[in-house]
Chains A and B, each alone.
Chain A
Amino acid sequence: DAKTTQPPSMDCAEGRAANLPCNHSTISGNEYVYWYRQIHSQGPQYIIHGLKNNETNEMASLIITEDRKSSTLILPHATLRDTAVYYCIVSSLTGGGNKLTFGTGTQLKVEL
């Protein structure tokens, strides 16, 4: 699986958009980009995933560059409850399941 690079930490003011970058320059053609988050040692929570098109759901938007070497997760109106570690993962569906390789992620702190 391709490796990802994320900044270790970011701050964001409540109500503002949080833009979390991720580099995945060695991504393969069949690998998806996933984002998960982990709030205070709870189990990770799925946010969104995509292959090459931009994606949006009720939680966030995922912007993937045309060459697929990087992506950005956007939380449009961050709240204090969005404070968490955010993981960017690339993985393919092989053998009936996708094995996720978690790095150390980005610690997002949302402040008043």
Chain B
Amino acid sequence: NAGVTQTPKFQVLKTGQSMTLQCAQDMNHEYMSWYRQDPGMGLRLIHYSVGAGITDQGEVPNGYNVSRSTTEDFPLRLLSAAPSQTSVYFCASSYSTGSKWGEQFFGPGTRLTVL
């Protein structure tokens, strides 16, 4: 299993540009989520999904859109990038039920800079 993969690893955008951060998992996990981590801070939840076709907002959703058309993929879209969105973005996935539901698997992150 590749686990949770994220692309790209690094990205530089100009203010106002849009882009999509990709996240995929091959563990058949129902639950997927996106976090951002600013320097010296803990991770903050942006959006999450409990299954294909179902998404909801986390703590800091403004400026981001998500969709979940398949179990495997959960892309994060930045609509109009702002310098305040400069951060490291992590995708995570986990089971929703059963004995393994408590363990979330995180991807390696995408380091985004908005100029």
Contacts and interface: CB of A to CB of B under 8 A. Distances in A.
Partners in one complex: yes
Given A44-B90, A49-B102, A105-B42, A99 B109 contact: no
A27 to B, nearest CB: 15
Nearest to B50: A96
Contacts of A103: 42
A99 B45 contact: yes
A29 interface: no
B68 interface: no
Given A44-B90, A44-B106, A99 B44 contact: no
A45 B96 contact: no
Interface of A is mostly: loop
B105 interface: yes
Interface residues of A, number: 23
Contacts, number: 70
Interface of A: 32, 34, 36, 41-46, 49, 87, 93, 95-105
Given A43-B109, A100-B35, 15 more contacts: A34-B102, A43-B107, A44-B90, A46-B104, A49-B103, A96-B31, A96-B50, A96-B96, A99-B45, A101-B42, A101-B45, A101-B59, A102-B35, A102-B42, A104-B42
15 contacts: A42-B108, A45-B106, A49-B102, A93-B101, A96-B51, A97-B30, A97-B33, A97-B48, A97-B50, A98-B31, A98-B101, A100-B104, A101-B59, A104-B41, A105-B42
Interface of B: 4, 30-31, 33, 35, 40-45, 48, 50-51, 56, 58-59, 88, 90, 92, 94, 96-97, 101-109
